[in-house]
Structure 1
Amino acid sequence: MGAGGLAALPWAVISTRYPPQARAKMLAAISSAWLLPALIGPLIASVMADTWSWRVVFWGLVPLLAISAPMCVLPLRVRFRQPQEGQAALGSRRVLWAALALAVSAGALVEGLRRADVLGLLLGAVALIGVGLSTRVLFPAGLWRFKSGLPSALMVRGLAAFAIMGTSSFLPLALSELRGLTLTGAGIVLSLGGVTWTLGSWIQARIEDARGEASRPARIRAGLGGVAVGVALTALGVLGVLPLWVIYPSWVLACLGMGIGYTSVSLFAMSNVKAEGAGQLSGQLANIESLMVALAAGVGGALIARVRPLDGAFTLAFAVTLLGAVLALAVAGRLWAGQKGKVQEEKEANLV
């Protein structure tokens, strides 16, 4: 819950406090905050797990949180607004209940996928209904129909996260079980991906500065194309169809494409929302990512737990996340359908 709240804050701040021409750089700066953790985090965690225990990795975070919490909270001391009243308060409570329902539904869906019995089927069915009803409140209409504009932007973001973060959730295990890499060796692969994701974010910021909004469609296509190709080649390398060394450049390609395409989609979403809707958008951006990552990890974990032989389970898990990458690239075409209509309306208004 804490991470979800923190994840939504940067989007709201950037949307309301920075002009459009500065947002690409700010998104890249936020990605840079991941650079050091992405570079050394997986490697250190892998060494600790190999040397002592994976439990040490989790307990080792407690001192870091104790040190960083005051640094994060103290500069943000501001006067809070008065509690909302009337219809605004009712709307806020409605969204809060929908968010809780989404969390419970997503958890129930993951548990339903994990179980191979009647209760699992029942949980899955009820959870799908819960996800559908709660997303109708939390997200703009047309999300699951890939409606042009903001709904498609949110889905592209979610599907891209489904592909990359879903794959990274089981990639170290696959490298260890199928290719014999140590956890440290698998951690190096994830570290390379984190660094190139950050690099991709800065590349898109430079292109945005040089060529403006007109370059976003090409950036999004190129980035999501890199995600799809990179995930596919990574899967072939892990499964032994291609040599082991292919994994390194292919995962770099996937994460570089993620940094370029993912951030460009976020810019597109910001440009489709007015300043007063920035808070709602920030929650939507964080929620769609969390939902899709949870589903990807849940589906992948269920397959790995239940399917044998293990290489068959990993094949299916890679196929699921690759499908997410391909769908993200396909749905991206819906972004500009709405933009064309918007531009045409603006032209007609100017003529009048």
Structure 2
Amino acid sequence: MTATEPATLAPAAPSLFTGRFRALTVGTVTLVSLLAFESLAVTTAMPTVARSLDGLALYALAFGGPFASGVVGMVVSGIWSDARGPGTPTRHGVLWFVVGLLIAGSAQSMGWVAAGRIVQGFGSGLLSVALYVTVGRAYPEDLHRRIFAAFAAAWVVPSLVGPAIAGLIVQYVGWRWVFLAVPVLTVPAMLLIQPGLRRIDAPVSGPRTAPGTFRRIAWAFGAAVSAALLHYGGQQRGATAVVLLAVAVVGLGLCAPRLLPAGFLRLRRGLPTVIALRGLASAAFAGAEVFIPLLLSRERGLSPAAAGFALAAGALAWSAGSALQSRLTQPRLRAALPRVGMLCVAAGIGFVALTVSESVPVLIGIAGWGVAGAGMGMVYPTLSVLTLELSAPGEEGCNSSALQLGDSLFAATVLAFGGAMFAATTVPGAGTYLAGFAVAAGLALLGAVISGRVDPRSTT
């Protein structure tokens, strides 16, 4: 290779929108976008829902319930995808997702909204894992980075416009249509990907139900209950919060390792470290993000819209970072992405933390959050690709499930403790914000330290 050769940009590669991939790409990206939109839109609409149905007491369950059922859905989808291919869990995921939306949208009480959300969460869990397995089996390896970059972009638009659209729907049409409108697009997207799913849906040779399947599902239920308890405990105060969080952490400590790859706790090279790094990245980013709107609006006097702009900067930069990683082909540069990305996350959080001081311009924090978002864009799809590369045939579902489980559980744990920290403080001050940002930045730095272990062949 000479110094004049463009080593960092990919040569012409098959397009995601060529004939045999076009419908599958459009359908899967649409489904990811709808999952993102519904998640963000419901957050916007739920206060109105609770007031309309006099259901404030069940408000937390409407969020914690789908998170818990999603944990079970991820595990079931991984088992199902490995045994029969991703087609069946994808179809069931769409069915449960749509049914849950219809239940919530037609509910006459908050209890039925929460029930619909739990059904919807199970469907989302099924879908999220099955779509990863679909990528692994339907697309050649040189397109994996590009389709995951497309998935990242599919989250950006909903994160930018979803809350605003949901607010307009609630104000002018009614909150029910936040739930009822989404199935109109979900069903056509499912029909688009059906031919592609049929091509890859032949089961892998071996038993249809692997040994230990039912034990794994039982552990998933245990992890789901613990996760729900963690979510609820983070919203309590005093001794109650401490007890609930302790019980939840013990439950997760017992159940989660049995759902993750062997060697996870020891950070064994390869897939166990990939799963751990993804969890650390998610926890670091979510742990900082939750403080930003409160800091900017309460301490720096920004309007809610202006504070939301800071989060939008992170979302846009995430998409840009993801697009960048999809274009890199030189192995040395690809190998550096996890570490560079985690360092960007840590640095970005550090810049945001500076805005605790009124002498630091808010734009410094917004720019910093963009740096953190770009780092996540480098890390997330890279780890998704590595998970598929390190999975033996017939294990893509189990490993994709573990990847997303670690992602969710790490973030939930940090958010629960962050919420408990704020609940214990009558008037949050600079020290409270700095403590939260310090924990998030520390997790990102820990991720940078272990990132060299994601490649089982590496000796660094």
TM-score band w.r.t. shorter chain: 0.7 to 0.9
CA shift, 1:112, in A, is: 3.8
Q: Which structure 2 residues correspond to residues 187-198 of structure 1 after superposition, within 5 A? A: 187-198=308-319
> Is 1:207 aligned with 2:324?
no
CA shift, 1:253, in A, is: 0.6
Asked whether the 8 Å contact 1:4–1:286 carries over to 2, the reply is: no
CA shift, 1:44, in A, is: 5.2
For the residues of structure 2 that align with 1:52 and 1:314, how far apart are their CA atoms? 33
* Cα 1:260–1:241 shift into 2, 3 Å: farther
Q: Which secondary structure does the structure 2 equivalent of 1:173 belong to?
A: helix
Of 70, 85, 91, the residue aligned with 2:187 is 70
CA shift, 1:120, in A, is: 3.7
For the residues of structure 2 that align with 1:298 and 1:86, how far apart are their CA atoms? 40
Q: Which secondary structure does the structure 1 equivalent of 2:132 belong to?
A: helix
Match of 1:349 in 2: none
* Cα 1:44–1:171 shift into 2, 3 Å: farther
Aligned residues: 331
> Is 1:171 aligned with 2:292?
yes
What is the aligned-residue RMSD (CA, Å)?
Answer: 2.8
Letter of the aligned partner of 1:150 in structure 2?
L
Structure number with higher relative contact order (C-alpha < 8 Å, ≥ 6 residues apart): 1
Q: Report which stretch shifted further, 306-315 or 290-299.
A: 306-315
Match of 1:299 in 2: 417
Q: Report which stretch shifted further, 237-246 or 288-297.
A: 237-246
* Cα 1:245–1:139 shift into 2, 3 Å: same
Letter of the aligned partner of 1:244 in structure 2?
V
Match of 1:245 in 2: 363
Of 252, 255, 263, the residue aligned with 1:142 is 263
For the residues of structure 1 that align with 2:351 and 2:153, how far apart are their CA atoms? 26
Runs of 4+ with >6 A deviation = 78-82
Match of 1:236 in 2: 354
Letter of the aligned partner of 1:66 in structure 2?
P
Match of 2:386 in 1: 268
Q: Report which stretch shifted further, 117-126 or 233-242.
A: 117-126
CA shift, 1:247, in A, is: 1.5
Match of 1:346 in 2: none
For the residues of structure 2 that align with 1:103 and 1:245, how far apart are their CA atoms? 39
Match of 2:433 in 1: 314
Consecutive unaligned residues in structure 2, runs of 5 or more:
1-120
Letter of the aligned partner of 1:224 in structure 2?
M
Match of 2:446 in 1: 327
Q: Which structure 2 residues correspond to residues 1-352 of structure 1 after superposition, within 5 A? A: 1=121, 2-42=123-163, 59=176, 61-77=178-194, 88=209, 91-208=212-329, 211=330, 213-240=331-358, 242-311=360-429, 312-336=431-455, 338-340=456-458
Bigger helix fraction = 1
Match of 1:345 in 2: none
For the residues of structure 2 that align with 1:93 and 1:307, how far apart are their CA atoms? 43
CA shift, 1:153, in A, is: 0.6
Asked whether the 8 Å contact 1:40–1:191 carries over to 2, the reply is: no
Q: Report which stretch shifted further, 234-243 or 85-94.
A: 85-94
Consecutive unaligned residues in structure 1, runs of 5 or more:
342-352
Q: Which secondary structure does the structure 1 equivalent of 2:212 belong to?
A: helix
Note the alpha carbon deviations across 1:25-67, whole angstroms, 9 max, x for none.
111111121232133235556x769x969xx7x6552244132
Q: Which secondary structure does the structure 2 equivalent of 1:251 belong to?
A: helix
CA shift, 1:142, in A, is: 2.2
* Cα 1:286–1:59 shift into 2, 3 Å: farther
Note the alpha carbon deviations across 1:229-273, whole angstroms, 9 max, x for none.
001111212453622110221111110111012221222222211
Letter of the aligned partner of 1:62 in structure 2?
F
CA shift, 1:93, in A, is: 2.1
